[in-house]
Structure 1
Amino acid sequence: MFPKRVGLIVWINDFKAARNLERIGHIHFISKRMNYCILYVNEKDMDKTMAYLQKLSFVKKVERSYRTEIKTDYSSKTVIE
């Protein structure tokens, strides 16, 4: 029903130019201090999108976010006596 989304961390040189990333995917967060942007794109287009982002002049580096692969089910099995 809904396409599976994946997060990309895009390290940028120019904050104003990073606004152009809105046409590539959904911008979730932009850090002015650390100069990075979190961008969500469709999983099937991830490789093509990463290659395109690497070619942009204001992009330093593109990394994949592994947030979806981290276990978030926490259980406490300790017994307090």
Structure 2
Amino acid sequence: MSINKELKSAGLTERTGLVIYLKNASDQYKLRRFGDIVYFSKKMKYCIVYVTQENAKQELAEIRKLDFVKYAEFSEKDQVDLSSSHIETQIATMAQEAEQEIQRRQEKNEDLLK
């Protein structure tokens, strides 16, 4: 379930994340006027800024025009499927693949011992 769905049912403002790559690490502070900086990587020179969802496209276009910004995009965090049925399907698939790999290795080891 998306956090935005939970916020909507609680009556809170929906927000979305923007990933912004900077030319200089020190320029992150200039992004405070757009939203909340929730993560910043000094080494990789990028930050994640949360903005209100209804103004996100406008904010992104404005941020992309800034001279200290290399690149900006929407975070894909909201598109991750966290439903229990999807996760269970992934786990079952991974378990089946692991069992097949174990059987393959056992057969290979048996062939080597002959």
Q: TM over 0.5, yes or no?
A: yes
Report the CA distance between 1:55 and its aligned residue.
Answer: 1.2
- Could you say what the CA RMSD is over the residues aligned between the two structures, in angstroms? 1.6
Percent identity for Structure 1 against Structure 2: 29
SS state at 1:23 partner: coil
Number of residue pairs matched by the alignment: 79
Q: For residue 63 of structure 2, what is the aligned residue in structure 1?
A: 53
Give the alignment partner of residue 26 of structure 1, picking from 5, 13, 36.
36
Q: For residue 68 of structure 1, what is the aligned residue in structure 2?
A: 78
TM-score, normalised with respect to structure 1: 0.87
Alpha-carbon distance in 1 for matches of 2:78, 2:62: 23
Which runs of at least 4 in structure 1 moved beyond 6 Å after TM superposition? none
Alpha-carbon distance in 1 for matches of 2:38, 2:49: 6
Structure 1: give runs of 5+ residues left out of the alignment. Answer: none
Paired residues of 1:25 and 1:40 also in contact (CA < 8 A): yes
Paired residues of 1:10 and 1:63 also in contact (CA < 8 A): yes
Give the alignment partner of residue 26 of structure 2, picking from 13, 16, 20.
16
TM-score, normalised with respect to structure 2: 0.63
Higher helix share: 2
Structure 2: give runs of 5+ residues left out of the alignment. Answer: 1-10, 96-114
Task: Return the index of the structure with the highest Cα Rg.
Answer: 2
